Structure 1
Amino acid sequence: MDITSELNGLQRSVHQVRADGIEGIGLLLRREYQAAAEDVWKALTDPAMLRRWFLPVSGELEPGGTFQLEGNAAGSILKCEAPALLRLTFGSPTSVVEIRLAEHGSHTALEFEHTVDLETAGSGAGALFVGPGWDLALVALGLFLAGRFTGDPSEWENSREVREASRQSIDAWAAAAEASGTATAEEIEQGVAVATAQFAEDAGAGN
Structure 2
Amino acid sequence: MSPVPTGRLFRTDTGADLVLTRTFRAPAEDVWASLTEPERTARWFGPWEGQAAPGRSVKVQLAFEEGAPWMDVRVEACEAPRRLELSSVDESGTWRTELLLSDVDGGTELRFVHHLDGAEGIAEVGPGWEFYLDLLVAAREGRPPVSFDDYYPAQKPYYEGLTAE
Asked whether the two chains share a fold, i.e. TM above 0.5, the reply is yes
Select the structure of larger CA radius of gyration.
Answer: 1
State how far apart, in whole Å, the 2-side matches of 1:56 and 1:31 are: 21
Q: Give the 3 Å change call, closer, same or farther, for CA 108–168 of structure 1 in structure 2.
A: farther
Asked if the contact 1:85–1:98 (Cα under 8 Å) also holds between the matched residues in 2, the reply is yes
1:114 paired with 2:100, answer no
8 Å Cα contact 1:34/1:107 also seen in 2 = yes
What corresponds to 1:175 in structure 2?
Answer: 161
In structure 2, the residue matched to 1:98 is 98
Matched residue SS, 2:143: coil
Aligned residue for 2:161, secondary structure, equals helix
Question: Could you say which structure has the higher strand fraction?
Answer: 2
- Name the % identity: 29
Partner in structure 1 of residue 72 of structure 2: 74
Unaligned runs of 5+ in 2: 62-68
Q: Equivalent residue for 2:133?
A: 138
Matches of 2:22 and 2:161, distance apart in 1: 18
**Pairwise CA RMSD:** 2.3
**Shift >6 Å, 4+ stretches:** none
Contact 1:76 1:90 in 2 (8 A): yes
Distance change >3 Å, CA 134–CA 73, structure 1 → 2: farther
One-letter amino acid matched to 1:103: D
AA aligned opposite 2:136: L
| Per-residue deviation, 1:94 | 4.9
Gaps in structure 1 of 5+ consecutive residues: 118-122, 150-155, 182-207
Q: Which residue of 2 aligns with 1:127?
A: 122
- TM-score scaled by length of structure 2: 0.81
- Structure with bigger helix share is 1
1:1-207 aligned within 5 A: 2=1, 4=2, 7-8=3-4, 11-18=6-13, 23-70=14-61, 71-91=69-89, 94-117=94-117, 123-149=118-144, 156=145, 159=147, 162-176=148-162, 179-180=163-164
The alpha carbon displacement at 1:82 in A equals 1.1
